[in-house]
Amino acid sequence: MNITIIGGGGFLGQKLARALVARGTLDGRQISCITLADVNDPAGITDARVPIKTARCDITDPASVAQVVTGETDVIYHLAAVVSSHAEEEFEEGMQINLHGTLNILERCRELDSVPLLVFTSSLAVYGGEVPDPITEVSLLNPQSSYGTQKAIGELLVNDYARKGYIDGRGVRLPTISIRPGKPNRAASSFMSSILREPLNGQMANCPVDEDFQHYYLSPRKCVENLIRVAEISAGDLGGNRILQMPGRTLSIRQMIDAMTAVAGSEPARLITWQPEEAVRQIVGGWRFDINADRALALGLEADGSFEENVRAYIEDDRPAG
């Protein structure tokens, strides 16, 4: 089985590749090769028991997509995106990568004789506006950002290309991933990892919202497990709507900080400053957190047991040594 991870240079693509290598199989079939494709040269994985290729790929260019999605490709993970604040500030770039890039991948699949399995990662940003709580499988997608709009369009396209038989498509709306390793990025949700990650690394971080701000979270570790599970659900079990809400947990900022303190002591929380940031508040203030993921849970996807688990996973998997 050949797997291509588009966005394979990102933290989630790298973690997914490592998890797939550790398993050696997907859906009971031996993995013969993993291709990590990314607009930036992706890091390879050196201790791999499975051959790993890396490829530079610009998804806005159909010819570039054709290099990494071929008749030999069995499974595609499409994780590449321009994130929320970035797509809001640079409309053109967001449209090119999030909409036309996704279309290029789908069109490449359509022109193949084979029917690859494609896992598309969507986002909570598809929700918003005057839609009643809780958000369920039958709630209107009412995005309040260009990023959310582009992800909602990706969902519609994945469903239609699957219905037409061009792909075996699946989509998952990711909760906000926390604690995300690495550096802050241009997602409006970036602080939802920074305010824990930086203090756990002994550094200061600012929280731009109040401590009672609530949101819906999942650890990178559980997210990767769920991404693998999504590819293993039989198409028949997915039914007519191939997009699932990936399960998460609803927490306030205060609950997240308390969990960090329970795991790592009282020092890290003292490194958090509380300067309000209006631009961030405006975007995340419209996000939804009362979310029902029953269908995904019934299909075997899982949330973390508690946010303490997220903190421990970061310390075990990602905290820089020393």
Active site residues: 147
- State in angstroms the smallest separation of the CB of 122 from a second copy: 13
The structure tokens listed for 225 are 């497990």
Binder to a second copy among 57, 83, 153, 283 (CB under 8 A)?
153
In contact, 294 and 130? CB cutoff 8 Å = no
Q: Which is nearer to a second copy, 48 or 140 (CB)?
A: 140
State the Cα–Cα distance between residues 97 and 64, nearest whole angstrom. 13
Total residues interacting with a second copy, rule: CB under 8 A: 27
Q: Answer yes or no: are the C-beta atoms of 177 and 223 closer than 8 Å.
A: yes
Q: Between residues 23 and 110, which has the closer beta carbon with respect to a second copy?
A: 110
| Cα dihedral 172, 176, 180, 186 in deg (nearest 10) | 100
CB 129 to a second copy: min, Å: 5
CB of 81 to a second copy, least distance (A): 16
Residue 198: CA count within 13 A, CB half-sphere: 17
For residue 13, count CB atoms less than 10 angstroms from its CB and return exposed for 0-12, middle for 13-18, buried for 19 or more.
buried
Is 118 within 8 Å of 76 (Cβ atoms)? yes
- Does residue 149 belong to the site contacting a second copy (CB under 8 A)? yes
Give how far the C-alpha of residue 209 lies from the chain's centroid of Cα atoms, to the nearest Å: 23
Q: Which helix (H) or strand (E) holds 265?
A: none
Q: How far is the CB of 156 from a second copy (least distance, A)?
A: 5
Rounded to whole angstroms, what are the CA distances from 128 to 54, 152, 210, 218, 302? 37, 12, 20, 19, 24
* Identity of the residue numbered 99: L
Task: Tell me the closest approach of the beta carbon of residue 88 to a second copy, in angstroms.
Answer: 9
Chain-centroid distance of CA 32 in Å reads 24
**Cβ proximity to a second copy, 136 vs 206, nearer residue:** 136
Residues 105-144 that bind a second copy (CB under 8 A): 110, 129-132, 137-144
Q: What is the DSSP string of 65-78?
A: HHHHS-TT--EEEE
Residue closer to a second copy (CB basis): 161 or 213: 161
Compose the 160-199 pattern: x for residues touching a second copy by CB under 8 A, - for all others. Answer: x--xx-----------------------------------
**Closest-CA residue to 223 (of 184, 175, 260):** 175
Contact present, 8 and 54 (Cβ < 8 Å): yes
Cα-trace Rg, the chain: 19
Q: Which stretch binds a second copy (CB under 8 A): 16-24, 159-167, 202-210, 268-276?
A: 159-167
- Shortest spacing between CB 97 and a second copy, in angstroms: 15
Please identify, using beta-carbon distances, which residue of 137 and 267 lies nearer to a second copy.
137
Nearer to a second copy, 165 or 322 (CB): 165
Binding mask of the shown chain, residues 214 to 253, with x at each position contacting a second copy by CB under 8 A? -------------------------xxx------------
Is 206 a binder of a second copy (CB under 8 A)? no
Closest distance of CB 90 from a second copy, Å: 12
Residue number with CB closer to a second copy (41 or 89): 89
Q: Which of 102, 159, 190, 193 binds a second copy (CB under 8 A)?
A: 159
Residues at the contact surface with a second copy, assessed by CB under 8 A: 91, 110, 129-132, 137-144, 146, 149, 152-153, 156-157, 159-160, 163-164, 239-241
